[in-house]
Structure 1
Amino acid sequence: MRIGFAGTPVFASTALQALIDAGHDIAVVLTQPDRPAGRGMKLQASPVKMLALDHALPVLQPRSLRLDGKYPDDAGAARQALQQAAPELLVVAAYGLILPQWVLDLPPRGCLNIHGSLLPRWRGAAPIQRAIEAGDRETGITIMQMDAGLDTGDMLLEAALPIAPDATSASLHDELAALGARLIVDALAAAALVRRPQPADGVTYAHKIEKAEAAIDWRRPAAELERRVRAFDPFPGCSFELDGVTHKVWRAEVDSSASGQPGEVLQAADGRLVIACGAGALSLRQLQQPGGRRVDVAAWLQSNPGLAGRRLATPAA
């Protein structure tokens, strides 16, 4: 099939590689403009762009697709290029730009989205993180016929995936990326797919992860904070303040046998750092100091002695 593809991160490039391997004719690839990244803040191409260039595929990088928006020249050029490429269908995976109606209407077979949840649960920008944060036991991939709403289109194909008790957003992302790649290939190979409207019940929204959410509020239950630590790995990472310095927490375990005032350091010796929470306590296992790397708690404690009995601050309400 002659298709267009729109995507930006590794989640999307995994699907694009699968479509290439399946022998589809990729007429055009849309991805986000190059962004500054790394310590040198040099412009860096997206994983989708790098893969597309490796396969000599035509790449479009408009800043917007809205003809009446801030960058009408970008949108107009993209529209002309898409019309010339004439894809039968557009596959979309974590693209990062809203598709206006003219894009949805352009391919004769419409636009299919690879969404990282079992819709209608976790519509929106951060379905992987929010599923872990909420303590969901499973998630999955939905192949959806796109419409003008926010992940509201009819479902074509779904596959579930259990969420491991120790899953992070990084590990679950990789599992879902592989599943999404397989499912979109299956969807395009199917002789016919039944379109099913999404149920009206069970709708939840996976709001974008904000950096402000990173600060650990020790007044929250330990189980909730442990899930958030995993959900925010690798971005933005959970953190706490110690003597005005921000430290990140990358792995933690619930200690239901310990208790104290929220933020109280109950133990800081023998390779254990246990902090009281609103319910139970959190045993921090892997941390990171500014400018450093992730280390186990024993190594971190060597650089931060004498914490037992201290009270860690909680974010302002």
Structure 2
Amino acid sequence: MNKPPLNVVFAGTPQFAATALQALIDHQTALNINIVAVYTQPDRKAGRGQKLTASPVKELALAHHIPVEQPTSFSLKFENEHESGRVSRETLANYRPDVMIVAAYGLILPLGVLNTPRLGCLNIHASLLPRWRGAAPIQRAILAGDSHTGITIMQMAQGLDTGDMLYKTSCEIADTDTTQTLHDKLAELGGQAMVEVLSNLSDYQVKAKKQDDSLANYAQKITTDEGLIDWQQQAHAINRQICALNAYTLLNGERIKILECLPIKSEQTTTETAGKVISVGRKAILVSCGADENGNKHLINITKMQWAGGKPLTAEQIAVGDKLKDGWRFE
């Protein structure tokens, strides 16, 4: 006799989660699952017009005629005239979920919610746990110079990304990877990993492994100040900062975003002061950095920048303009 399909509730908000949701939608029949509801963050104001905008997950769910829920909180302490945490929990329970899949949802799930699905809640986390628990694992992996990262499918528990691990898959961090390119790789991996786990969920749950807390570190939220470039740092650290963050520098008190750069070339060294613009070329803007552990000062090869109020400019566009000259120095 065929088994009845698993009732799946999906919870997520940004594009990372939407990619995973699409993978589940594509494999519903093969996995014998029924996506009974999607949970996502309330619509937010976005863009210059500040119009209320649905999340990528909501848009995808509506396109496939999946019911969408957008509670503000699941906390029993949350009560107002429009919504309550108690009602949010009752609504979830009424879907009779067998399992809840969570990917970058953005709401804290209390223990009562984690225990609502018969088989619990599974999280798609963008790191190889227990490394980089927390909010910004992709950026932190690039900033730290990690050679690899990956996806962990975790049985959710109370605590920040502390649950037992059901499945892990890794990918290389290339020296050309940015937060966006690595995000896209991991989003695809996350969907594939969850499809794999759901193909034999009971077996993966039986073989789940506990995390070694002694190996854990935390991916703290990124702050704006972390994007400010200190040109006294060595070139590799600045390169990773540009790849990972909304990096920026100052020139005569004006804030300028550094959007893209090329990998560091070992032969490009200088004796010039850190932060000095060595060459405004059509292929790259060369800027001197601080000395490394061997006393060498390497150059950053910037390929795209953006001045306040302006559009992103390539190195070639900057070279033919007058916004930047050889010999100028970033603060």
TM-score under structure 1 normalisation? 0.92
1:261 and 2:265 aligned = no
**Residue among 72, 88, 107 paired with 1:78:** 88
2:312 aligned partner, one-letter code:
R
Q: Give the superposition deviation at 1:38.
A: 1.1
Matches within 5 A, 1:25-40: 25-40=34-49
Structure 2, unpaired ranges of 5+: 1-5, 292-296
Count matched residues.
309
Matches within 5 A, 1:1-317: 1-23=6-28, 24-69=33-78, 73-190=83-200, 191-193=202-204, 194-232=207-245, 237-253=246-262, 254=264, 256-269=268-281, 271-279=283-291, 280=297, 281-305=299-323, 307-313=325-331
CA change 1:243–1:80 in 2 (3 A) is: same
Secondary structure of 2:57's aligned partner: helix
CA RMSD of superposed structures (Å): 1.8
2:89 aligned partner, one-letter code:
R
2:219 aligned partner, one-letter code:
A
CA change 1:147–1:270 in 2 (3 A) is: closer
Structure 1, unpaired ranges of 5+: none
Q: Give the superposition deviation at 1:292.
A: 3.2
Distance in structure 1 (CA, Å) of the matches to 2:323 and 2:158: 55
CA change 1:131–1:209 in 2 (3 A) is: same
Residues 234-265 of structure 1: CA distance to partner in whole angstroms, max 9, x if unpaired?
xxx21112233322112224354123222222
Is the 1:64–1:70 contact (alpha carbons within 8 Å) kept by the matching residues of 2?
no
1:252 aligned partner, one-letter code:
C
Distance in structure 1 (CA, Å) of the matches to 2:308 and 2:184: 27
CA change 1:71–1:113 in 2 (3 A) is: farther
Q: Give the superposition deviation at 1:311.
A: 2.5
CA change 1:29–1:71 in 2 (3 A) is: farther
TM-score under structure 2 normalisation? 0.88
CA change 1:278–1:85 in 2 (3 A) is: same
The answer for the alignment partner of 2:294 in structure 1 is none
CA change 1:225–1:83 in 2 (3 A) is: same
Task: Decide which moves more: 302-311 or 56-65.
Answer: 302-311
Task: Decide which moves more: 285-294 or 37-46.
Answer: 285-294
Distance in structure 1 (CA, Å) of the matches to 2:305 and 2:167: 40
